[in-house]
Structure 1
Amino acid sequence: MDLQLTGKKVLVTGGTRGIGRAIVEGFLAEGAVVGFCARNAEEVGAVERALAERGEVTGAVVDVGDADTLRGWVQDSAAAMGGLDIVVANVSALAIPDTPENWELSLTVDIMHTVRLVEAAMPHLEASDSACIIAISSVSGREADFASGPYGTAKTAIIGYIQGLALQVAEKGIRANTVSPGNTYFEGGVWEGIEEGNPDLYSMALGLNPTGQMGRPEEVADPVVFVASPRASRISGANILVDGALTRGIQF
């Protein structure tokens, strides 16, 4: 299936590892022009070099918690690429422990980075004939689990924000959706750390999934790329679960 993404201009926050990097690779594989950001300059450069032969890709060093820097990156990227068609808010602080600091961090990084990315990109998306906004939430935003608290609450708020946004921008021809992954394992990721530091929690989480395994980043990225593509033109205001049947509640 041709996803009709050739030449589409895409921005992804947090594109150096895990789900974010897989999303960048997925869009490149479909012929899109991709810009991504992350905080670590060395990692940004390494990924940019590694993916250069796969298509048009540009990395930037951005702390998405800094409003001015985030807005500047969006504007500079749109100018360099000649517009924007798709934005993916992927960065999370992964602030799970219930502390005052983590509540502040989750608000700034998870929620406000999503809102500010959308606000900065909106004028460019309004000029696109196939505009789409994707925010990465989590199954922890859909039901109570061990990550309820700062992280889970922020992810719930993102789903609510995007659902309302989809209604507001539909008349402009812009779509907005969330994708909610279940437990996703990759080198250097949170679940590798839990596996090493809290094996009981890791075993419990693994046992809850009826597939008997955690997901891979590319298994999340592929639905993101499809939902963002013009082939999914009627999907808006949806929360797409990518969790291997982990969550039990019926989603209305």
Structure 2
Amino acid sequence: MSGGWLDGYAVLITGGGSGIGRAVAERFLAEGASVTVLGRDADQLDDVVRGAADPSRVHPVTADVRDSDALHRAVAETVDRFGKLDTLVANAGVWDYQRQLTRLGAKELDTAFDEIFSINVKGYLLAAEAAWPELVKTRGSIVMTLSNASFYVNGGGPLYTASKHACLGLMRELAYELAPKVRVNGVACGGMNTDLRGPESLSLDGRSIGASFAKRGPDTPPPPIPLHDSSTDPRDFTGPYVLLAARDQSGPITGHAISVDGGIGVRGFGSAAGGDHL
């Protein structure tokens, strides 16, 4: 591929084996990038390689984002394989299935907090720590997967919501600390049909958020967002990642989160969409 917005870029994506991470990896490949996909499931990563039009532009790394040494190894392997690192997409995460405080015992709260924050927040921070020296060399960027739960409540329970609010603050702080050499932005996604899992500490690691979308039948009311027919396909959320990674398209942008959530930020009190009568 030549002529794409990311032609010649080298990218590292955490959580790149499934869900939005895989969708971003496939979109970046289509835009001309070479991509290292990092995740815990080797079979998923191998499937990404097999599905690529040019497998030589995909490098799989089986690792956990809580392992700093593994993240440093992934950065080094990316540079060794592709010559540089232009973009880090910090993406790996878990969801708490909206488990409310009143449905969490003290021990569950203690262990689930540590697991969710170590993946959703520390995983981003450790990835940024591993990548920033190489990103300085290329005047590259970091793109973080945020969430509507980075701004609004009830996109998860208190643990997930707090973790995603923390990621928003982390994105803004790193945008300041790494300027002017490295841009740091985020994509705040709405709900989508993915393989996003729950925490092991709550015995939810065997479920995926996609199961809740699969239960929606033809008679199910539209979701309470202004864009009632907003897509839940992760591939339809990838455009902002391309925009923020491409320095020629978003060079002056840093510390910004693009919301891709069907318009939750303009949802009215009386109804989801003010224009239902149109």
User: Structure 1-normalised TM-score?
Assistant: 0.87
Task: Name whichever structure is richer in helix by fraction.
Answer: 1
Output the CA distance in 1 between the equivalents of 2:177 and 2:251.
Answer: 16
Partner of 1:207: 223
Tell me, in whole angstroms, the C-alpha distance in 2 between the residues paired with 1:163 and 1:246.
Answer: 21
The equivalent residue for 1:228 is: 245
User: How far did 1:145 drift?
Assistant: 1.2
Other-structure match for 1:110: 120
What's the counterpart of residue 152 of structure 2? Answer: 143
C-alpha separation in 2, matches of 1:7 and 1:126: 17
What is the aligned counterpart of 1:219 among 232, 236, 254?
236
| Residue in structure 1 matched with residue 94 of structure 2 by the alignment | 93
Residues 1:178 and 2:195 are matched in the alignment: no
Contact 1:62–1:70 at 8 Å: present in 2 too?
A: yes
Amino acid at match of 1:47: V
Describe how 1:1-252 pairs up with structure 2 within 5 A.
4-53=5-54, 56-96=57-97, 97=99, 98=101, 99-129=109-139, 131-172=140-181, 174-186=182-194, 190-195=208-213, 206-213=222-229, 214-230=231-247, 231-248=249-266
Where do 5+ consecutive residues of structure 1 fail to align? none
Q: Deviations over 1:75-112 (max 9, x none)?
A: 22222221211000010022343532221112110101
In structure 2, give the amino acid aligned to 1:7. G
* SS of residue in 2 equivalent to 1:49: helix
Counterpart amino acid of residue 8 in structure 1: Y
Aligned partner of 2:65: which letter? V
SS of alignment partner, residue 178 of structure 1 = strand
- The one-letter code sitting in structure 2 at the alignment partner of 1:164 is E
Tell me, in whole angstroms, the C-alpha distance in 2 between the residues paired with 1:246 and 1:142: 10
Deviations 1:106-126 (A, max 9, x none): 211010110111111111011
- Aligned identity (percent) is 28
Per-residue Cα deviation, 1:33-78 (whole angstroms, up to 9, x for no partner): 1111111111111221111437611112111122222222222222
User: What TM-score does the superposition give when structure 2 sets the normalisation length?
Assistant: 0.80
Question: 1:12·1:34 contact (CA, 8 Å) conserved in 2?
Answer: yes
SS of equivalent residue, structure 1 residue 127: helix
Cα offset, 1:208, TM superposition: 1.2
The residue type paired with residue 110 of structure 2 is P
Q: In 2, are the aligned partners of 1:226 and 1:232 still within 8 Å (CA)?
A: yes
Which protein is bigger by CA-based radius of gyration? 2
- Structure 2 residue runs of 5 or longer lacking an equivalent are 102-108, 198-207, 269-278
